[in-house]
Every structure is written in structure tokens, then in C-alpha cells.
Amino acid sequence: MIMRIVLLTFLAFLWLNTNSMADNNAKDFKLIYVFDPLCGWCFGFSPVIEEFAMSHPEIDIQVVSGGMVVGDGVGPIGEVAPYIAQAYKDVEKATGVKFGKKFLDGTLKDGKAIFTSVPPSKAMAVVNRRKPEKAVEFSGMLHRSIYQDGWQPTDLDLYKELADSVDINSDEFLEEMESPKNIARMQEDFELSSQLGVTGFPCVFMKGSKGIILISEGYINRDTLEAGYKTALEILHK
């Protein structure tokens, strides 16, 4: 895979620590996973990033919501159902995940569900603040809830159920989702995704004191992610 270094000038104040690194351990780096709760390829990638996170407890992983379906893009899933009805087969073939009957024969066929990245991204922002160690796991929960269990992104009962799964009081979770501070955190994620130059999901970056390296753009398997991670560490060590 061709890797490119993302030079940081305008992002320097956001990402770079002015202090020199104490050593070259993985704890001095951060993996940045840019995804979207409605991205089918991210659904396919979720087992990969979850397995990677479990295998590398030493590395901090930041989950960033990309804002794939927002603004004028929000609307009934029926408007894009013909595309999804074909695209999901490509995702299944390439990644091994399976879209659920409740989604395919329910949500997709019905066509009335409003597809918007905003509510699940608000939920992601809550978990990023309250339970960052569960962020990768939660991102996968969102995908499975929508694409296997047939939950609609606007159904608040979904987030009450998922809140319990990550040991957060469900009422507090819903309240925080709609708070101005949480919405601002979600918007900051959207903006960061744009600043990083993300045009498709998923994307994985490695951040160190010398800058940010793009490890992957689009779906990759576990071996490729592992190789990219090791290469990024080597580059950032130099």
C-alpha cells in the first residue's frame, strides 16, 4: 500500500506537542480512526479495528466521526436504496460481514427510515468523552445495530440500549447527547475529518510528534492494518 505523510501546518496547534518525546514506545503515538456510523465499508472494517484494538492495548485509539450523511444529504433511505441494495453485496464479499435480514428486508425495503449520521455521531461523542476506552467497541456496536439488527439511526431507544452496554446511565446518555457541548464535540470531529483530507471512510492515521501518517484509506484487512501500523511507527521514529 502506498503511504503518504500528511504535513501539518494548520493542524500543528491541534496535534503536535512542543515537548520532545521521552522515548519511542507506542504510548507516544495515537491511532486515529475516522469512520461514519452509516458507512457500510466501516461496518465491514469494524471487526478489523476491534481485533486490532484488543491486540494493541498499548496504543491509544481515537475514534472520529466523519459526518458522511449530514445537511442536504439527510433523507429517507429509500432515496438511496437501489445503490445500497447492490453495494452491500460488495461489502459482504470483500470483508466477510453479513448485513442482517432486519435491515435488508425491513429498513431497506420499507425505505422510510431517515438516514442521518447526526444522532449516532452524537452518541459516539458521548462515549468518546465518558468511556474513551470503549470507543472502538462502541463504533462497532453502532454498525451492527443499524446494519444487522435493523435499528433506525433516529430511534432514541437504540442509544438507551447501547448506553447500558457501555455502563453509562441511559437517561444521562440521552441528555448528554443533546447538550450544546456534546453537539460541539461532534462538530469538531466532522471538522477534523475534513482537515485531515478524508474523502471516504474508513481512514486510519498514525499521529506522532513529527506529524501524521495515513495508514489506510478505505477497507483493509487485519494483516494490512498491522503492516501499516508497524511501518508508520518506523517512519515516525526516524
Measured N-to-C along each axis, helices 118-130 and 156-165 cross at an angle, to the nearest 10 degrees, of: 20
Tally of structural domains, the chain: 1
pLDDT at 26: 58
Mean pLDDT over 12-24 rounds to 37
Is 77 exposed, middle or buried (CB count within 10 Å of its CB: 0-12, 13-18, 19+)? buried
User: pLDDT at residue 77 above 70?
Assistant: yes
Task: Identify the weakest region by mean pLDDT among 98-107, 165-174, 180-189, 207-216.
Answer: 207-216
pLDDT at 210: 85
**Residue 227 falls inside a structural domain:** yes
Q: What is the largest CA-CA distance in the chain?
A: 56
* Average pLDDT, rounded, for the chain: 90
**Residue 27 falls inside a structural domain:** no
Q: Coil, strand or helix: which one is 205?
A: strand
Mean pLDDT over 26-31 rounds to 81
**Distance, CA of 165 to CA of 132 (rounded, Å):** 14
Q: Beta 203-208 vs 60-65: how paired, if at all?
A: unpaired
CA–CA distances in Å: residue 26 to residues 22, 130, 137: 11, 23, 20
User: pLDDT at residue 9 above 80?
Assistant: no
**Residue 23 falls inside a structural domain:** no
Task: Read off the pLDDT band of 27 (50, 70, 90).
Answer: low
Domain limits for position 80: 4-11+38-232
Mean pLDDT over 37-48 rounds to 98
Question: What is residue 10's DSSP assignment?
Answer: T
For the four alpha carbons of 49, 37, 43 and 215, in that order, the dihedral sign comes to negative
**Residue 20 falls inside a structural domain:** no
Cα 216 to chain center, whole Å? 13
Ramachandran sector of residue 147 (left: φ over 0; alpha: ψ -120 to 50; beta: rest): alpha
Burial string for 92-109 (b: 16+ CB within 10 Å, else e) reads: eeebebebbeebbeebbe
Mean pLDDT over 57-69 rounds to 96
User: pLDDT at residue 3 above 60?
Assistant: no
| pTM of the predicted protein model | 0.89
pLDDT at 28: 80
User: pLDDT at residue 21 above 70?
Assistant: no
How is residue 87 written as a grid cell? 453495494
Task: Identify the weakest region by mean pLDDT among 18-22, 60-64, 90-94, 124-128.
Answer: 18-22
Place of cell 485509539: 61
How is residue 108 written as a grid cell? 431497506
How is residue 127 written as a grid cell? 462515549
Angle at 42 between CA 203 and CA 191, to 5 degrees: 50
Burial string for 135-172 (b: 16+ CB within 10 Å, else e) reads: bbbbbbbbbbbbbbbbbbbebeebbeebbeebebeeee
**Distance, CA of 94 to CA of 88 (rounded, Å):** 10
Counting residues of the chain whose pLDDT is more than 70, the rounded percentage is 89
**Residue 127 falls inside a structural domain:** yes
pLDDT at 185: 98
How is residue 167 written as a grid cell? 455502563
What's the pLDDT tens digit per position in 181-236? 999 999 999 999 999 999 999 999 999 988 999 999 999 999 999 999 999 999 98
The CATH number of residue 220's host domain is 3.40.30.10
